Amino acid sequence: MTNTSFSNANKINTQRITALWAFSEATFGGILHALKIPFTGLFLGSAAVLFITLISWADKNKTSILHATLLVILVKAAINPYSPLTVYFAISVQGIAGYIFYRFIPYERLAALMLGFFSLLFSALQKVIFLTVLFGANLWKSLNSFADSIFSQLGITIPSNSIDFSLLIVCTYTGLHICMGIFIGIKSIKIRNWILKNNLPNADEIINDNNNEEYFPKKKHRGKKFWWMRMSGIFVLSFLLSIMIYSYLYPNLSKIPAYEILFMLVRSIVITLVWFFLISPVVLKSVRKLLMKKQNKNLEEINHITSLFPFFRRIISYCWKNSSQMHGIKRFKKIITESFLYIITIKIEQDK
């Protein structure tokens, strides 16, 4: 494995970055949830862009990006066997895009910018497409009808079809992801210099302290989690039920009949059940069979990557404890930046 010097005292290889990428996919969501940070997909996608950029920098052979992507998927499948297929697909797309941009675009800054833009745009569109497939086009009609009724109740007159509120929401959501993608694309290049300029003390304290684990928020492993069990699903379900009740009570004021909303709900449940109990098991069986073959071929690397996870947890626990006086975004920023720097730079006995 190719080693690249980040400072005189510390070295990092692509396997350390790959391990951190796999760890973030398996655990980062739990940390964001514990800190009550919304838009977890936004941060996970940004993290993937950062790790791919660092791998591209650490190894001139860009195929290492594809190999790292495969290892992340294999580790994800081993640790979180109930992960949906869309997660594996998203990681694969990010890795392949990273390889293409860094392999064929000679200007590194432009490649990083394109990767950030594409990865976060893909993340946003994936969710929009998912909602459209699940509920149909009537979901967006319901949003428009709801907005029109609200304005009508407030006495605000808006010309018919002058504003597409559902399109406005989708564009705002997508625009947020695109801005984040451009930001992380630019920032990922600057992070290398940031690593060189920053040195954190107390490295020995982290390595030798075995009591930090208790400060790390535990993530419960659960089985299948349908969309209506998640916060976003609860919100959409509550919204549609409210619109259905409103349409039933005030049919003259609503532009969409209650039975169409009921059809949307039934449609979404049927699609979900068919996917989870008929299609997904067949596809997952084939995917897991393929992943098992790959796991056997890459067993040594997978074991090494997972052996680093307790070390990563100890570092995050240490940073979690030391940021207890802070809250929200400030605490999140402190935990992430310090944990990242410690994980990247500290030399440990597991290093090859």
List pLDDT tens digits, range 89-133. Answer: 899 999 999 999 999 998 999 999 999 999 999 999 988 888 888
- In the numeric block, which tokens belong to residue 89? 């697909």
* 10 pLDDT tier (thresholds 50, 70, 90): very low
Most confident range (mean pLDDT) of 101-115, 136-150, 241-255 is 101-115
What would the DSSP string read from start to end of 60-87? S-THHHHHHHHHHHHHHHHH-TT--HHH
Residue 30: is its pLDDT beyond 90?
no
For helices 138-153 and 231-249, the axis angle rounded to 10 degrees is: 60
Residue type, 43: F
Three-state SS at 352: coil
Q: Contact, 140 vs 269, CB < 8 A?
A: no
Backbone angles phi, psi at 7, to 5 degrees: -160, 175
* 229 pLDDT tier (thresholds 50, 70, 90): low
For residue 218, give Cα distances in angstroms to 33, 38, 157, 313. Answer: 11, 18, 51, 10
* 2 pLDDT tier (thresholds 50, 70, 90): very low
Average pLDDT, the chain: 76
123-132, 145-154, 279-288, 317-326: range with lowest mean pLDDT: 145-154
Residue 249: is its pLDDT beyond 70?
no
Predicted confidence at residue 243, as pLDDT, reads 66
* 215 pLDDT tier (thresholds 50, 70, 90): very low
6 contacts: CB under 8 Å, gap ≥ 6: 12, 192, 195, 196, 344, 345
In eight-state DSSP terms, residue 326 is: -
Predicted confidence at residue 3, as pLDDT, reads 37
Residue 27: is its pLDDT beyond 70?
yes
Q: Which helix (H) or strand (E) holds 3?
A: strand 3-5
Predicted confidence at residue 313, as pLDDT, reads 85
Predicted confidence at residue 146, as pLDDT, reads 64
Predicted confidence at residue 60, as pLDDT, reads 85
Task: Please give the average per-residue pLDDT across 160-188, as a whole number.
Answer: 85
Angle at 182 between CA 179 and CA 187, to 5 degrees: 120
In eight-state DSSP terms, residue 6 is: S
- In the numeric block, which tokens belong to residue 56? 């591209």
Q: How many CB atoms lie within 10 A of CB 132?
A: 14
What is the Cα–Cα distance from 79 to 29, expressed in whole angstroms?
Answer: 14
Three-state SS at 5: strand
Residue 284: is its pLDDT beyond 90?
no
Q: What is the pLDDT of residues 193-211, one digit of tens each?
A: 777 676 655 555 555 555 5
Beta bridge partners of 12: 4
Angle at 6 between CA 183 and CA 21, to 5 degrees: 55
* 319 pLDDT tier (thresholds 50, 70, 90): confident
Predicted confidence at residue 280, as pLDDT, reads 73
Q: How many CB atoms lie within 10 A of CB 155?
A: 6
In eight-state DSSP terms, residue 155 is: T
- In the numeric block, which tokens belong to residue 167? 């399109």
What is the Cα–Cα distance from 260 to 256, expressed in whole angstroms?
Answer: 7
Burial pattern 22-44, b for ≥16 Cβ within 10 A else e, equals bbbbbbbbebbeebebeeebbbb
Backbone angles phi, psi at 5, to 5 degrees: -80, 125
Q: Contact, 256 vs 141, CB < 8 A?
A: yes
Residue type, 254: S
Residue 65: is its pLDDT beyond 60?
yes
Domain ranges of the chain: 8-223+280-345
What is the Cα–Cα distance from 50 to 184, expressed in whole angstroms?
Answer: 7
Of all residues in the chain, the percent with pLDDT exceeding 90 is: 20
Residue 70: is its pLDDT beyond 60?
yes
